[in-house]
Chains A and B, each alone.
Chain A
């Protein structure tokens, strides 16, 4: 068992977890009350997580691929169980209690799904461009998506949707199919502006002609886009005002400073008031006077932004960037399909979390309740992320054995 650890990944993960611990300490230490409680608990989770990560790293080469389907099946069963017997947290059933410890299975379902899809698409003669494999892969992803969306935990569920295209693209999905999937989404967004809609339609026609596919396919794709473009505004018109309100609040949070937009504004204020150098560690006034909502979990990055400023933010962003780039690099050097796809899947999940979470703190993304990997407070989330890294290390360490 000659194992070579990927020390770069290990280093980056360690740094990020440490930054997270610092931020959690600050976020939970208010004037008057001790902040060590969250810090200690997170530290405990980190120790456990690192042990799991390293243990997984030492697992024999083929093991992961072999257990991927069982792992997936187990997670699906767990999700179904949670749906019926889960503990209620923040109005959604997503926790499972093992003794006194509460677990959030949806975090682990991400890894299970990635591994299952990777395993499925790396079977002999598997071709994602064939309907059987394409629909099989999408089905594997949609099943946990639906279960989690039912909880309802739309934020986490969105992660599953987000990995579909990158994962299948990496598996070799022809660009035209991606085009067919992506264009209706674009059409939906642009259908409110007639000029933008028209330009998009022209572009679609241009691409379709250049693609040299069968005329019937071209017409079908085009018609689909046109219909989406017409139907979207109609549906919007039929939405109830509060539903429109929610979407509009996302688009322009300052319109609703008391409601959901309040969080974004408070976060922006915290980050903005940090300036270039920040207010200094443990000196963020927004943080310590509890103006930030969920500041040790979802809005942990606002604390970093306020206390360490643009300088600190840039450094943390850089480490996150390096980690994802490292994963993409690893994925592209893997000769084994399962290994490569699993890592790219993990990279995608991380990237999505990072972008949505950090984007949320500055108003670039909706408030969905997605935590920031390695940094946000949360036991099962940290554990799940470290488990993912364990998988990466396992694969990366044994890349020459595949």
Chain B
């Protein structure tokens, strides 16, 4: 055994020492990396591991009308979440069975999620299901039942287009904003969307200690917890009393009624029909309900006030008047003879009044809504000027209301026609048509209400809005949304005076006489918009009182026929309700009255038989 004392063995010995040192250094370095360099990261993971972060969902802010009546409230509802890491196939099967869902769809929800944090599987679970789950608690390790507020609408509250609805964050929103966890509820449309950040409040977090089995062992420490902050209450400019009344007027009809405060732009009524029950989109939305809404031929999901565009018909003649007077193309005295038709080249265009208006000047033409007069006026103005003034009145672009997806409509210009029909492809006929509000021109009901407000205020525009202020219940503070005001530049007061006088005459014995309100001088304009898809749309826009306007209104009833007969009465009723807070017995003004309107006094008692029947001017323009 000489070998074991040879020099060769000394070399071998050092190999062993060296190897041992190396291996221990590798280990030591490994611990250094994890415990010193990676300490922070692993501590955090450790926290996530042994401490479960529970999200406390705050109550969403309540939406109220201008008098504080609750329009959108909250009610508790149950939701079921699971902790992905604790899900066994067995539990999953049992859960799928309980919730009557497919296992694959639950799996899909868990994919790619933090395996220690609860993932919401189902919302708005009914009470019996929750009871059944609690009874068989041991079969459902890692399944959590939580309570969260759900949107609730008091009886008689509808107006889905105003409020919109709340829904779960889709994957896309999770990635984009990064601030939402998938499954969290956010406003998807309407005011819920626009004021989502204010209404949503702040999520709170509660930390509880859990063991590896996922059992909660109690709170970690109160200091780390953050309370959920409830959302702010949203007060609207809306008067829901009038809103409800206006909605009742539109039952069975398609169209819209928009009334706004001419001094602030705050919307008072905002009715778009047909609509749907907002309760159907609160909580879980059944696919059948959704499909039915989407495929309904009446398009109830559409907010007609901001998302539907119509030809405005004769209501748009007011814009032509403004252009003609301001550009000094005519004076109010400029007259035209209306034989009931108008020849343009080889074409003959009829006036609505086939008997003809005879020789009329501007104010008479507005009052009688004479097409022949405005055809000729349109030709004198020219497309370029007409388009310029249309845009001055903010047509062709969204008003900026606090609702999502507002449309801007369309104001055709020379470029537009050149592009559409070719340089010489369009004629003066197109222009004549535009002057009476037909043709390619498209507007939203809200833009028409805005026009009424501009004329009422002689150029001052307040951006239409629904939200008045936010109220923080906790700190009792109010956050008022400032009224945004714009001014229509370059139209003189004289021009407004002429237009307004014309509008006053429209209601005062003109085509819009049904738009009048007892004791309140109303100015307005009717419109009967032809449309290629069916019967004419009935329009009425107006404001009141004439001297010191408080309210501007626009009414459209789709395929209803003449504006004077079918839209103006609705406007009248809404205004009446607004000014008197109740309905008056019908007072029928005399035709062509020039008397000054008497001061308001209590109207005589309502006796239906005593109302004189008026001859109805059918197809009033």
Contacts and interface: CB of A to CB of B under 8 A. Distances in A.
Interface of A: 30-31, 122, 166, 169-170, 172, 257-258, 266, 268-276, 285-286, 289-291, 305, 309-310, 313-314, 317, 320-321, 324-325, 328, 331-332, 334-337, 340, 344, 347, 351, 354-355, 358-359, 362-364
A335 B4 CA distance: 6
B46 A285 contact: yes
Interface stretch (B24-32, B409-417, B510-518, B561-569): B24-32
Contacts of B34: 268, 271-272, 305, 362
A289 B115 contact: no
Nearest to A166: B16
Interface of B: 1, 3-5, 8-10, 12-13, 15-17, 19-21, 23-24, 26-28, 30-36, 38-39, 41-43, 45-46, 49-50, 85, 115, 209-213, 217
B15 A272 contact: no
B115 A258 contact: yes
B43 A273 contact: yes
A245 to B, nearest CB: 18
26 contacts: A166-B16, A269-B45, A270-B46, A272-B34, A272-B43, A275-B39, A276-B35, A276-B39, A286-B46, A286-B50, A290-B212, A291-B49, A291-B212, A305-B31, A305-B34, A310-B35, A321-B20, A325-B20, A328-B16, A331-B16, A334-B4, A337-B4, A347-B16, A355-B26, A364-B26, A364-B27
Contacts of A31: 211, 217
A271 B1 contact: no
A interface secondary structure, majority: helix
A21 B33 CA distance: 27
A227 B182 CA distance: 53
B38 A272 contact: yes
A311 to B, nearest CB: 9
A87 B8 CA distance: 47
Most buried by A among B17, B30, B36, B217: B30
Contacts of B45: 269, 272-273
B28 A314 contact: yes
B212 A289 contact: yes
A272 B48 CA distance: 14
A334 B34 CA distance: 40
A347 B16 CA distance: 10
A276 B26 CA distance: 18
Contacts of A285: 46, 49-50, 209
B15 to A, nearest CB: 7
Contacts of A166: 16
Contacts of A270: 46
B42 A271 contact: yes
Given A270-B46, A335-B5, A313 B35 contact: yes
A270 B15 CA distance: 34
A291 B30 CA distance: 21
B110 to A, nearest CB: 11
Nearest to A363: B30
A269 B116 CA distance: 14
A351 B20 contact: yes
Contacts of B1: 122, 335-337
Given A169-B15, A172-B8, A328-B17, A362 B42 contact: no
Nearest to A266: B49
Contact of B49 (A271, A286, A324, A328): A286
B16 A359 contact: no
Given A172-B3, A340-B4, A355-B23, A269 B42 contact: yes
Nearest to A339: B4
Given A170-B12, A258-B85, A291-B212, 12 more contacts: A266-B49, A272-B46, A273-B39, A273-B43, A290-B211, A290-B213, A291-B49, A305-B34, A313-B35, A317-B27, A317-B28, A359-B27
Contact of A269 (B15, B32, B46, B115): B46
B261 to A, nearest CB: 59
A268 B49 CA distance: 12
Contacts of A331: 16
Contacts of B16: 166, 170, 328, 331-332, 344, 347
A331 B33 CA distance: 34
Contacts of A332: 9-10, 13, 16
Contact of A272 (B5, B9, B23, B42): B42
Nearest to A272: B42
Contacts of B212: 289-291
Most buried by A among B13, B20, B38: B20
Contact of A309 (B19, B30, B35, B213): B35
Contacts of A266: 49
A364 B4 CA distance: 35
A383 to B, nearest CB: 25
Contacts of B26: 355, 359, 364
Contacts of A268: 34, 42
B433 to A, nearest CB: 69
Contacts of B9: 332
Contacts of A170: 12, 16
B50 A291 contact: yes
B42 A273 contact: yes
B49 to A, nearest CB: 6
B132 to A, nearest CB: 29
Contacts of A335: 1, 4-5
Most buried by A among B12, B31, B50, B115: B31
A30 B46 CA distance: 17
Nearest to A257: B115
